[in-house]
Amino acid sequence: MFDKVKFKETVETILKVDYGKTIENAEEYEKYNGISKAIMELISDNWNATEKLYSNGKQAYYFSAEYLMGRALGNNLLNLGIYEEVKDTLKELNIDINNIEEIEEDAGLGNGGLGRLAACFMDSAATMNLPLTGYGIRYEYGIFEQKFEDGFQIERGDNWQRYGDPWSIRRTEDTVIVEFGDGKIKAIPYDMPIVGYNTKNINTLRLWKAESIEEFDFQLFNDQKYDESVKEKNRAEDISRVLYPNDSNEEGKMLRLKQQYFFVSASLKDLLRKYKSRFEKDFSKFSEYHAIQLNDTHPVVAIPELMRILVDEENIAWEEAWNIVENTFSYTNHTILAEALEQWDIELFKKVLPRIYEIVEEIDKRFILELKEKNYSHEKIEDMRIISNNTIKMAWLGIHGTHTINGVAQLHTDILKNKELKDWNKLYPEKFQNKTNGITPRRWIALCNRELTEMITELLGTEEWITDLSMLNKLEKYIDDEQVLKRLLAIKMEKKEELSDYIFKKEGIEIDPNSIFDIQIKRLHEYKRQLLNAFHVLDLYYRLKEDPNMDILPRTFIFGAKAAPGYFRAKGIIKYINEIAKLVNNDPDIDGKIKVLFVQNYNVSYAEKLFPAADISEQISTAGKEASGTGNMKFMLNGTSTLGTYDGANVEIVKEAGEENNFIFGARVEELEEIGGSYNPIEYYESVPGLKRVVDTLIDGTFDDGGTGMFKELYDSLTIGAHWHRADNYFIFRDFDQYREVHKKVDRAYRDRLDWARKCLKNIANAGKFSSDRTILEYGKEIWHIEAKKIQ
């Protein structure tokens, strides 16, 4: 039961103690911190009780380099079931909860789907009462704050802690020491509560901060060598300074490897310390009490690190230690792209982690013997061994050293098993599973789309669907209910108006909520084909210029994405789209028929406004390249049709909601495999009407890339290729005409408003499969073998 009087008193006390202020004269950020800390006090007993409840049985641990959590205040209030009570209490204090929520900085501790999936899993595990703890890095600065200057992406430090961090507790008493080839550093844990929905359970996300063992060298400081006196301190803190530092040179690569080893070593030492306090030196039960999920290859170095601890520090025989390791770890593969499968140069690895390299070398030798005993050929062994061609293949280590490997969508898993990892699947067929990704319904509808949530609850007569998304299929009976369909359209319009206001406030750009909102928001990568979208927008512009009376519905094309700082081509695509926006939006002849906008600093909070407002969900990756996607699921849950290829989880979305309620185009995986090396993009470039005209704008002076050569490089990548890939590697030219045609189909379909609403409702009603609650329960039952435990 929420105690309004006590809550007010707690907030007042915190403001007095922390800032020497009253509610009346406190700054907005001070009020935010006071309110957040009051919530922390409210949940502390249940947090401790949860830890105690879980401590006696088997627990799972999620090792991930990324956690893209989003704002905590609103989400925690929703999950605690006290959002409205706190809102009303704050109103009595003359505080607008919306203003307070806007103060909170997004903790940008992730770059995209990988990190957001980890966040959804943490929410779902707490809600489903599963004993899961997250481990990662407490980056001082997140991915980066993105600004556009003259259309170019500019990166600035993402100081997410500028107003403090009321949602984390520093646990100095649990500090551990991590050792590298060139020295030792401290790993300090910070614990963040993960509040379950409609449960008292509070799970934990433990993030490690790197600090120097010596604060500074007093003697050097006394000798007035000030920079040198803090050199070691800065070097240590660099490890947790920035998420994914630029690794275009050796120093950057070494820092990335140090980051990976730092958090897995600290996490394993943390687990082993707790285990030894209970079982002392008997490690035979370790895998009975610990299930560790490696989220992609970043934490795979945990495999040799646990071997090192068991063999070197605990004096366990190799075979016994390997048995413990193999039965403890499982590995999620998130990519089909060969170039994204992590590999480390041997010399660099040896320099940073000399003993770990020796362990990996021994693992590789024993694996070779295993393959020889199975009569594998020399060529096949070379393909599969963990160390080859002067590199360490982390994905191979992840497969060999774990008991389960899973893909993240059925198509992705099938491709892994039958193509990319077929040799491994043949060797270890019992290891491979599929776990289609999911999203948490709490943040991605209950929090960000209250109007739709209210309607669904009213129609279903219960709020239980928020923790059992399969109940949404009961909405099917309203598929021809005109009143419901009109209400759904009205809610969509309300969210579009909200987004329009938000964009005007953030970007200073007006967009028309009556236009079709066509949205592509995701990490910027060539295979995701933002460039295909851009070419279509430009083609539509040229066609409108030729025929001003062309009958099209007004359309607003919205992009949101960050390009990795060292990814030249991706940054070129951002600049190109911004050049197209400048051309289109400033042409009076267009008269508002189309508008183009690239939102700045796309993050979780921006996403919460974009997903509910979308009419079209752009999911246009080259077939067979997107492992799953989760943005597609967020759009679907909020009543948006997918315009996409038959790729990743799109395949399953279409299967659930029907192809007739979505807009599928483009070559499928089988077709692209058939085309293979015979693909000639120039044939399409020269024969598809309008294609050459838009592609040539990269080199004919239509747009200015500021002398960077970005646009010419993009043009060459499409028409000539590069030493590492063929021309038009992602089949943009091949799919362009079909993409244009499917957009015409959207235009026609949108005109029948009730039928469009049916498509939207059909998508919502069939989104049940894509809950991360379902995914996490599958992990718990089929991989981790853990049981739910609930505080009564």
Q: Is 417 a catalytic residue?
A: no
Nearest to 691 by CA among 746, 620, 740, 729: 740
3-state secondary structure of 259: helix
DSSP state, residue 521: E
774 is an active site residue? no
334 is catalytic: yes
Residue of 443, 522, 740, 769 marked catalytic: 522
Name the region of 648 (left: φ>0; alpha: ψ -120 to 50; beta: rest): left
The three-state secondary structure class of 566 is coil
Strand-pair category, 616-619 with 202-211 = unpaired
Catalytic residue among 186, 206, 492, 528: 528
Q: Select from 228, 196, 203, 201 the least CA-distant residue to 214.
A: 228
Q: Which of 523, 593, 743, 774 is catalytic?
A: 523
Q: Which residues are 242's β-sheet partners?
A: 141
3-state secondary structure of 680: coil
Q: In what order do the strands lie in the sheet with 387-388?
A: 343-345, 391-393, 387-388
Distance, in Å, from the CA atom of 90 to the CA atom of 96, rounded to the nearest integer, reads: 7
For residue 703, give both structure tokens: 């747009």
- Among the listed residues 10, 328, 630, 640, the single catalytic one is 630
Catalytic residue among 200, 334, 495, 740: 334
Helix, strand or coil, per DSSP, at residue 723:
coil
Q: 33: closest CA among 49, 48, 15?
A: 15
Q: Can you tell me the distance from the alpha carbon of 72 to that of 609, in angstroms, rounded to the nearest whole number?
A: 16
Alpha-carbon gap, residue 501 to 507, rounded angstroms: 10
- Which among 99, 75, 754 has a CA at the least distance from the CA of 481? 754
C-alpha neighbours within 13 Å on the C-beta side of residue 193: 31
Q: How far is CA 403 from the centre of its chain?
A: 25
Q: For the CA atoms of 53, 55, 60, 66, what is the dihedral angle to 10 degrees? A: 90
Contact 258, 356 (CB under 8 A): no
**Catalytic (active site) residue 87:** no
Q: Of 308, 593, 634, 743, which is the active-site residue? A: 634
Catalytic annotation present for 719: no
Active site annotation includes 258: no
Contacts of 52 (CB under 8 A, 6+ apart): none
Q: How many Cβ atoms are within 10 Å of 88's Cβ, its own excluded?
A: 12
Q: Which residues are catalytic?
A: 334, 522-523, 528, 630, 634
